[in-house]
Amino acid sequence: MSEEKRIRERDVIIETISRLMIPFIQLFALYVIIHGTKGPGGGFQGGVIFASSFVLYLVVFGLAAAGKRFPEGADTALMSTGVYIFAGVGLLCILVTLGTAEYLNYGFIPLTHHFEENRALGMDLVEIGIGITVMAVITEIFFNLVWKKEEEKGKGKEEQR
């Protein structure tokens, strides 16, 4: 029983520090995603870092608050949105050149007038898609791992999630 109470207890230091840290973690994740084409990092790493900010939020504020901030429906939608961005950019290369360019040959997407800039922008778009999917999937795995216990404790309080 004392252990149950210790989980529920709120700590003002941890909450304040997390509140301060989470936006910077997310900003760093976006930086990693965008700079993944030029340096270390990329969509997968940025997505994991972005998901770890939600994991931190869930650990500190509990499942009810985290479920309100990041509902499961939005999670599922984001998961497929990332895949659609990836597949859509790849297919767009085939569509705009009527089948002469390969799948994910970004240079042929007519975003700008320069081939190299097209390639850089297409790469960024694909990285954003990967990041969105990885972020949603890792957050969802963690949510599902911790869900059952809280659900049994709250007895239907988490139903709206």
Partner 1 sequence: MIVPIDLALLTLIVIIALAAITVRDLLSAIMLLCAYSFLMAMVWVEMHSVDVGFTEAAVGAGATTAFLIAALSRTVRWEKK
Interacting residues with partner 1 (CB under 8 A): 32, 39-42, 44-45, 48-49, 51-52, 55, 59, 138, 141-142, 145-146, 148-149
Cα–Cα distances (Å) from 11 to 71, 92, 107, in that order, read 24, 50, 52
- Minimum distance from residue 51 beta carbon to partner 1 (Å): 7
Q: Which of residues 42 and 107 has its CB atom nearest to partner 1 in the complex?
A: 42
- Minimum distance from residue 30 beta carbon to partner 1 (Å): 14
Q: Which of residues 32 and 78 has its CB atom nearest to partner 1 in the complex?
A: 32
Q: Which of residues 37 and 97 has its CB atom nearest to partner 1 in the complex?
A: 37
- Minimum distance from residue 110 beta carbon to partner 1 (Å): 31
- Minimum distance from residue 33 beta carbon to partner 1 (Å): 12
Q: Which of residues 32 and 92 has its CB atom nearest to partner 1 in the complex?
A: 32
